[in-house]
Amino acid sequence: MKHILRLLVAAGLAALLMVSTASAGHGRKIVKTFDKKNRIKISTVSGDCLVTRGASDKIEVAVVNSYMPEDNFEAEFDESGRTLHLAERLSGSTRGGAKWMISAPDDINIEFSTASGQLIIRGLKGRFEASTASGDVEVSGCGGEFNFSTASGNIDVRDCTGEFDLSTASGEIMASSVTLEEPGSFSTASGTAEVHPATTPEFDLEVSSASGSAIVDYEGNPVKGMFEFTAKRHNGDIDCPYAFDHEEEFTRYGDEYVVKTFTKGTDRPRIRITTASGEAILK
């Protein structure tokens, strides 16, 4: 009899564990709909955020969270004029995470800030800003103005058109099939910054990395403009398939640098590829 009771208790505990695990896996969901706004400001601690283009002017927000204890998480929704504020608040010691899924119309401003969350934007036109500590930023099929900065997160931009200002401290920057409609800047301190223009750039482009590689790959598109490469004389390296027209050296904070330039076709746009102790590469 005792053996049977032990089996029943064990089976009950196993069933309870399965229910608890399933509940945590699916998470708790909040869904809200808002009228059209000019701007969405999103602030998370560690929650991820996915923003996609909707089929109407309405803004739809779904939040799925698995934070435990449950009472330590609060999702905030606040409408202030033409701005929608979204935020997650955590209190005490928590475990788990959250995902914010937002459907929005074109021509909207998205402002995102987080400590360790990830931002993904797909198929949207507007003005996009993101600031993260260790979170990554991934954008695809978008158009407009881009201003992203991270401390140690990576930035991945694909099939996008517009104005770009991307920077990271120790993360990687990958910009593939991008079309510049204004001068663009892609910079990292200790990671690699790599840009693949979709077509021959018509605007100035600056790609830089302090201790990593700074790469511009034309992907077979015609090369034109004035190209300037900068690297430390003894620690950096310049890799270019064209002969240089001019070369000079300068000293900055006790370090010797070399600058090499060439012009192909016209002197516009101006393409700068800069590194300190890494590689400055044109492909």
CB 171 within 8 A of CB 190: no
Rg (CA), the chain: 24
Q: Is residue 105 part of a domain?
A: yes
Q: Which of 35, 63, 39 shows the shortest CA–CA distance to 49?
A: 63
Q: Which two tokens stand for residue 61?
A: 């927000």
Separation between Cα atoms, residue 165 and residue 96, nearest integer Å: 33
Give backbone dihedrals phi and psi of 144, rounded to 5 degrees, phi first: 135, -140
Q: Is residue 51 part of a domain?
A: yes
Query: Can you give the pLDDT at residue 9?
Result: 35
> Tens digit of pLDDT per residue, the chain (283 long)?
334 434 433 444 333 333 333 333 457 999 999 999 999 999 999 999 999 999 999 999 999 999 999 999 999 999 999 999 999 999 989 899 999 999 999 999 999 999 999 999 999 999 999 999 999 999 999 999 999 999 999 999 999 999 999 999 999 999 999 999 999 999 999 999 999 999 999 999 999 999 999 999 999 999 999 999 999 999 999 999 999 999 999 998 888 999 999 999 999 999 999 999 999 999 9
Work out the burial of residue 116: count CB atoms within 10 Å of its CB; fewer than 13 is exposed, 13-18 middle, 19 or more buried. Answer: middle
Helix (DSSP H) and strand (DSSP E) numbers for the chain: 1, 25
Beta strands 225-232 and 59-65, pairing class: unpaired
Query: Can you give the pLDDT at residue 133?
Result: 97
Q: Is residue 157 part of a domain?
A: no
Q: Is residue 183 part of a domain?
A: no
Q: Which two tokens stand for residue 80?
A: 């202030």
In the chain, how many domains are there?
1
Separation between Cα atoms, residue 199 and residue 12, nearest integer Å: 63
Query: Can you give the pLDDT at residue 117?
Result: 96
Q: Is residue 125 part of a domain?
A: no
Q: Is residue 279 part of a domain?
A: no
- Domain containing residue 80: 29-113
Q: Is residue 62 part of a domain?
A: yes
Separation between Cα atoms, residue 108 and residue 54, nearest integer Å: 12
Give kind and range of the element (H or E) at residue 95: none
CB 110 within 8 A of CB 127: yes
Q: Is residue 234 part of a domain?
A: no
Q: Which of 191, 133, 142 shows the shortest CA–CA distance to 164?
A: 142
Query: Can you give the pLDDT at residue 163?
Result: 98
